[in-house]
Amino acid sequence: MTSNSKTSFWGRIRSRLAKKIRRLRQSGRKPAAPLPIIDGWEQSSALFMLSTGRSGTDTAHRLYSLSAQILALHEPAPRLAQERKQAFLGVHSDPARFESIFRTNRAGLVSTAVQQSKAYVETSARMTFFAPVIERVMPNARFLFLHRHPADVVRSGMRRGWYVDHVDDRDRIVPAPDSVAGQAWSGWSQFEKICWYWDAYNRFALDWIDSLAPEQVARVLTLGSNDLFHADERTSAALFGLVDRQPPPAEVVAECLGTKHNAQHGGDFPQIKAWSAHERRILWSTVGETAARLGYEQ
């Protein structure tokens, strides 16, 4: 093991221990009192995120937090981690169950924003698979579909140890056991699983958007992560206009975007230009169709 590999390995271990300690401390706290729910919260123009994660969701949170007219939360409690995994497999077959989960866990937060005359914005990628029920519960809800090049997300997942030893792996989505991917899952490498992960998230988001009536599509803004990281005034106006708010001054937005948020530091895995031909074939054979729909080319 090289010196850099050792540093990366121990960096990952420290990060995971810190996460576990934080969650243990949180689990020992008394449950928070339920937030009051107001009549008509469902009519709010709240914003929810569709994303794989590792695509700028934290940056989006910090950007929306610049406005005093927005209640922006990144991963509010409850985090709905297991529920996200379950929704991926069951939101279409049992929508009533996931509508109930959404109402129970987000009505109070949205109500809080409404009472404060603020727009509610949640940038957690865990709400992705709740989009079909959110759309029905909240007819004025807005959605930001934030996507990133598949190779960048796969690299980030490899460096973080997804599907191997990451603290959140028990809550990470997996294919239905009776699907083609589910039948092959146990024999797949970590790399293959993360390629599937990128495709599953983005295919779900694209298929759901395609299912919307033409008049509803305006409720969704689709944005590549690079466009977010280098947002110009037009992009900033679109992001804040999605929740009917004026964007902050351009210099304030530029200062926020000039700072890297939630950047990856540990773990070793090369950029796509250094991948083997075999790795490239696996990536594009897995994500090719979905990637093409988003404008990503081999």
Residue 291 has pLDDT above 50, yes or no: yes
- Tell me the average pLDDT across 222-232: 97
The mean per-residue pLDDT over the stretch 63-70 comes to 98
Rounded CA separation 201/159 (Å): 19
> DSSP for 60-124?
HHHHHTT-TTEEEESSPSS--HHHHHHHHHHTTT-HHHHHHHHHHHHHHHHHHHHHTT-EEEE--
The stretch 217-232 carries a mean pLDDT of: 97
pLDDT in tens, 78-96: 999 999 999 999 999 999 9
What value does the mean pLDDT of the chain take? 92
Q: Which band of pLDDT confidence, cut at 50, 70 and 90, is reported for residue 249?
A: very high
pLDDT band at 16 (very low <50, low <70, confident <90, very high): low
Of 40, 50, 57, 53, nearest to 110 by C-alpha is 40
Per-residue CA distances from 11 to 14, 15, 140 (Å): 5, 6, 43
> Cα–Cα–Cα angle for 260, 199, 80, nearest 5°?
65
CA nearest to 116, candidates 44, 196, 216, 198: 44
pLDDT above 50: residue 186:
yes
pLDDT surpasses 80 at 208: yes
**Domain residue ranges of the chain, discontinuous segments joined by +:** 45-293
Average pLDDT over residues 9-22: 61
- pLDDT of 3 reads 46
Q: Which tens digit of pLDDT belongs to each residue from 103-114?
A: 999 999 999 999
Among the CATH numbers 3.40.50.12590, 3.90.420.10, 3.40.50.300, 3.40.920.10, which is that of 45-293?
A: 3.40.50.300
pLDDT band at 10 (very low <50, low <70, confident <90, very high): low
Phi, psi of 120 (to 5 degrees): -90, 125
Whether residue 22 has pLDDT greater than 60: no
* pLDDT at 260 (0 to 100): 72
Q: 289: helix, coil or strand? A: helix
Q: Which of 19, 204, 56, 34 is nearest to 104 (CA)?
A: 34
C-alpha closest to that of 59 among 182, 200, 212, 224: 224
